Structure 1
Amino acid sequence: MKHLILPTLVLALAGCGQAPEPDAQATVSITDATCRPTPNGLDVTGCYVTLTASHDDRLVSISAPQAGMAQVHEMKIEDNVMKMAELKDGLALPAGEAVSLSPGGNHMMLMGLKQPLVAGEQVSITLNFEHAQPMGIRALVAQPAVDGDHASPH
């Protein structure tokens, strides 16, 4: 009996904590990827993108080799104070609905940048989803367009 308990325990534990397999049919289209240039002396910046999922999904994390840390943040006003915090449960992406990460709202935050981001360069970012395959993007470093301004950030 002792000989059966250990292998059974090992098999049971092996299944714990594993991420679900990506769904090959779940896709996310990504447009308008932009990161702000970093002002002198700062090692943080915001990045923006529009995501449209084919199925209900969730942006669960991001990473960028240029940054020590990368997070998806929400921005909200509480008691007349603007607050920013990581979306620990990720960002919901309802099927077929364009979800914009934009200035003044939800956004991606790159922190601990290894070098300043200069306008005209590109930044590599990997977006990880609950169902869709991870996607690597190249975001243009430029001032982002503001709501109602559809001019190209070039």
Structure 2
Amino acid sequence: MDDMDISFAVLGPLEARVDGQRVSVGPARQQCVLAALLTDANHAVPIPTLIERVWDDQQQRPASTLYTYVSRLRRLLDGAEGVELRHHSGGYSLSIDPLQIDLHVFRGLVREARAADDPDQAIKLYDQALELWRGEAFGGPSTDRG
């Protein structure tokens, strides 16, 4: 899978597409780990923050499970051009072009719309941003089952 084109959508149920084809990103909690990394793309997310975002207080050993999910996500991303899941002291980051994630494309379009001098251009940009939404952001499986 060398030089594969990968993109992610979180403005609705989490989706990953490789070369235009939808691919599975694993069980619910693994999807939550990926969603947390996508939200904070190109920034280190501390392990305690990832655990807090993904698990409730009932989970016995979230750290070891987190490492398993990160390992699986690395395999998923292996060969994706310009994408790397990196370990940092006490956390992880997903190195990726923000244009590969609909959330960041949305934010960019909204920024452009706000800065536009022409109201018609602003409306066009807002419309493009709204078209990215496919449902409730980060919708999908509940972590109660993952």
TM category, shorter: under 0.3
Q: What is the TM-score of this pair, normalised by structure 1?
A: 0.21
Q: Relative CO higher for 1 or 2, CA cutoff 8 Å, sep ≥ 6?
A: 2
By percentage of residues, which structure has more helix? 2
Q: What is the TM-score of this pair, normalised by structure 2?
A: 0.22
Larger radius of gyration: 1
By percentage of residues, which structure has more strand? 1
